[in-house]
Structure 1
Amino acid sequence: MKKACIGVYLAGALASTTAAAQSSVTLYGIVDVAMQYTNHNLAAGGKSSGSIFSLVSGGAQTSRWGLRLREDLGNGYAAVAVLENGFDATKGTANNSGRLFGRSSYVGISSPYGQLTMGRQTTGVYDFGLTFDAVGPALYSAVSFDPAFVGRADNSAKYTGNFDVLGGKLMVEQLYSFGYDSVTGAGPVAGAFRVGKQVSFFSTYNYGIGTLGLLFDQQNGNTVALQDVKTQRYGVAASLDLNSLHLYAAYRFYAQKQPGQNLYSSLYWVAARYQVSPFLNISSDLFYQEDRNTGQGNPLMLSVLGSYLLSKRTDVYVQLGTTFNKAHTNLGLTGFGTVTTGAIQTGAMVGLRTHF
């Protein structure tokens, strides 16, 4: 009897050891804090409050911590999961409307035919910006014009596949959400399936030094009353990889289709990223918005981000940005409506970022 128990115990221990060898759990994160200066900031009542010195979290990348899980299922299949929390390192509070895992919270299956995941995940707009915005997702980037460039969707299923096509690499990403915001919005509603529905498609094709990208994203209104309002984003972009120098050009078309009058605007940008040395990188963006009737006008923004590695995990960075407004526009480095109308806002920050 004792020998049988010992045999069962050894078999169980061996099985546990084998399972552990085929599985991995990774704890990772970023802590990023910077000292920032901006001028022409808008105060309560719509008056200029002048210049502000402050500490900001996530100047270059959002502060975060997360868990990444992967279990080998054999024959090229694996179970995957990610839980990722975003937080404000200057206050210790959670981002993303207080969600515990607001940046990512999903589980799925990876296979030779692609990966299918379910949960809260990044949208095609986010991935489009991450691929073709040289400064993004830093604060002075495409996010200043459109918060969707850091967008995520609750209740979503997402497929990502990579294929060899005509000698190049084709990436296809498709997302469908049953309710992209169940915290501040209504989320899925019985009998009103259009509430909060989101469809997102993003694809890239890489051949040699060139990469092309295409984007389509559509969201329905996030309440029962607004479920028939459709917000659409179309994008096309290209990049060139010249070893130490990367060049980018992109276009995003915005359309909000609603009763009464549809709203339209276009956003153009060119960008570059240059690796000066193994320790020093410099990136720059130049944006221009052409507005048809959204009321935001046609502002221009220039941003520069320089990063110097102190070690493999830690760097110090400097970020500079300027928004050029006309008499009726009010784009600030952190978005529309944050500066005095017609003002030219200048911002600068020096930050420290460490990875673990």
Structure 2
Amino acid sequence: MYKKIIAAIALGAIAVGQAKAQSSVTLYGIVDTGLAYVHNSEGQSSQWRMAPSNLSATSWGLKGTEDLGGGLSAIFQIENGFDGSNGNLATAGRLFSRQAWVGMATPFGTVTLGRQYDPLTDLEQGLTADTFSGWFATPGDIDNYDSSARFNNAVKWVSPAWNGLTAEAMYALGGVAGATGSGQTWSAALAYSRAPFNIAGGYLHIDNGNANVGQRGTSTSDTLFNTPINAAYASARTINIARVGANLVLGGFTVGAAYSYSQYASDAASTYAGSEKYHNGSIFAQYNFTPAFMVIGAYNYTRALGDSSAKYHQINVGTDYLLSKRTDVYALAGYQHAMGDNGQGPAEASIGSYGIPAGKSTQEAVVIGLRHRF
């Protein structure tokens, strides 16, 4: 694996060196690491830990375009995620875990093929507090608010902008012989932007694998079952997610709200009956005192219905200060209170999408960090 990484970096350096002879090739990346204190972590009272990827995922990548004439361009992007605290791959065994696709840009839209983000991530996520940090995401990221899932074998179309309106659609092929729909994913979203107002919404359907033909949990989607919040429903037949988000930008002041509905549907191979449903609502406010200094606060409420009865209240605050155009320092704090039952027992807290189970009904966390872009 390390030989592959070295080879990829070498190829990237060659590509950048040849960029002048082609249309465009860019090497880019982010390193984001902080020091965190967590109260209630995996059943223990307190923990000091390194906390990578707090505002942005630590990653590096290559992207490029070649002008083919006639309004056509060939495009590509490959992006590796890694742990800034120890250098390990963010996803074991997967070099380009974040993105790996090739496509064509045309006057009628862009078509890309490979490992990609879904349309909701592209169009709706940036209108929420998640654009600042995944610490602000839905508890356990049960609705893919913070892109815990990316999608393999995906074909995606992105429209041109039509008077502020943008559309996207994606289909990911399951690839299971004899069962066309097993493991498939499909999604569509719309966004409208007319200053100072922005709104977007859409739908995401994930097939979690056909237990009769393949294996439950074998899907084009990465797993969403990363915390005790929804771990009881890892045997779900399908996951269906609808999300909508909007914000209003008035000078240095931004306010926004989002809502999602997630359904984890069962079948005869599931370990639970019926459907588990989650309603999630969030609000946030952000103020930029100067172009270099900002603060943000948010509230998130999640309610489970169906097989379980958990409720989660979450409060987050954060601040960021730019030392330069490429380097900034930041601080984050979060609190979550869980109540009811999560399908396995008493509900556990787990702030945002960072997957640290509390082992208790409450969790508090504070982090300070440094981010550098290149």
Normalised by the length of structure 1, the TM-score is 0.85
Q: What SS does structure 1 have at the residue aligned with 2:96?
A: coil
Q: What SS does structure 2 have at the residue aligned with 1:145?
A: helix
Residue number in structure 2 paired with 1:3: none
Aligned residue type for 1:113: F
Q: Bigger CA drift: 298-307 or 31-40?
A: 298-307
Residue number in structure 1 paired with 2:35: 35
Return the offset for 1:134: 1.8
Indicate which of 317, 321, 330 corresponds to 2:334.
Answer: 321
CA offsets, 1:57-94, max 9 Å, x none?
A: 10111100000111111232111000100000111111
CA distance in structure 2 between the aligned counterparts of 1:351 and 1:159, rounded to whole angstroms: 36
Query: 1:288 and 2:301 equivalent?
Result: yes
Q: What SS does structure 2 have at the residue aligned with 1:131?
A: helix
CA distance in structure 2 between the aligned counterparts of 1:337 and 1:93, rounded to whole angstroms: 19
Indicate which of 141, 163, 172 corresponds to 2:161.
Answer: 163
* Structure (1/2) with the larger strand percentage: 1
Query: 1:93 and 2:88 equivalent?
Result: yes
CA distance in structure 2 between the aligned counterparts of 1:171 and 1:154, rounded to whole angstroms: 23
Return the offset for 1:329: 2.3
Contact 2:19 2:25 in 1 (8 A): no
CA distance in structure 1 between the aligned counterparts of 2:128 and 2:24, rounded to whole angstroms: 32
Distance 1:296 1:277, change over 3 A: farther
Return the offset for 1:113: 1.3
CA offsets, 1:24-56, max 9 Å, x none?
A: 1100000011000010112xxxxx211000111
CA distance in structure 2 between the aligned counterparts of 1:217 and 1:135, rounded to whole angstroms: 18
CA distance in structure 2 between the aligned counterparts of 1:345 and 1:296, rounded to whole angstroms: 19
Distance 1:19 1:134, change over 3 A: closer
CA distance in structure 1 between the aligned counterparts of 2:178 and 2:170, rounded to whole angstroms: 22
Residue number in structure 2 paired with 1:4: none
Query: 1:191 and 2:189 equivalent?
Result: no
Q: What SS does structure 2 have at the residue aligned with 1:93?
A: coil
Contact 2:134 2:352 in 1 (8 A): yes
Aligned residue type for 2:357: T
Distance 1:19 1:325, change over 3 A: closer
Query: 1:62 and 2:81 equivalent?
Result: no
Contact 1:265 1:294 in 2 (8 A): no
Residue number in structure 1 paired with 2:248: 240
Distance 1:257 1:122, change over 3 A: same
Runs of 4+ in 1 over 6 A off after TM superposition: none
Residue number in structure 2 paired with 1:276: 289
Contact 2:138 2:302 in 1 (8 A): no
CA distance in structure 1 between the aligned counterparts of 2:298 and 2:352, rounded to whole angstroms: 15
**5+ long unaligned stretches in structure 2:** 1-17, 219-235, 268-272, 341-345
Return the offset for 1:189: 1.3
Aligned residue type for 1:159: W
CA distance in structure 2 between the aligned counterparts of 1:121 and 1:284, rounded to whole angstroms: 30
CA distance in structure 1 between the aligned counterparts of 2:253 and 2:132, rounded to whole angstroms: 19
CA distance in structure 2 between the aligned counterparts of 1:210 and 1:295, rounded to whole angstroms: 37
CA distance in structure 1 between the aligned counterparts of 2:171 and 2:202, rounded to whole angstroms: 14
Q: What SS does structure 2 have at the residue aligned with 1:91?
A: coil
Aligned residue type for 2:67: D
Query: 1:351 and 2:338 equivalent?
Result: no
CA distance in structure 1 between the aligned counterparts of 2:307 and 2:126, rounded to whole angstroms: 27
Return the offset for 1:129: 5.3
| Higher Rg | 1
Return the offset for 1:22: 5.3
Q: What SS does structure 1 have at the residue aligned with 2:310?
A: coil
Indicate which of 321, 331, 339 corresponds to 2:349.
Answer: 331
CA distance in structure 1 between the aligned counterparts of 2:319 and 2:64, rounded to whole angstroms: 33
Distance 1:136 1:329, change over 3 A: farther
Query: 1:253 and 2:261 equivalent?
Result: yes
Distance 1:136 1:160, change over 3 A: same
CA distance in structure 1 between the aligned counterparts of 2:358 and 2:123, rounded to whole angstroms: 27
**How many equivalent residue pairs?**
322
Contact 1:284 1:303 in 2 (8 A): yes
Q: What SS does structure 2 have at the residue aligned with 1:140?
A: helix
CA distance in structure 2 between the aligned counterparts of 1:278 and 1:334, rounded to whole angstroms: 27
Contact 2:136 2:352 in 1 (8 A): no
Q: What SS does structure 2 have at the residue aligned with 1:248?
A: strand
Distance 1:206 1:236, change over 3 A: same
Q: What SS does structure 2 have at the residue aligned with 1:272?
A: strand
Normalised by the length of structure 2, the TM-score is 0.81
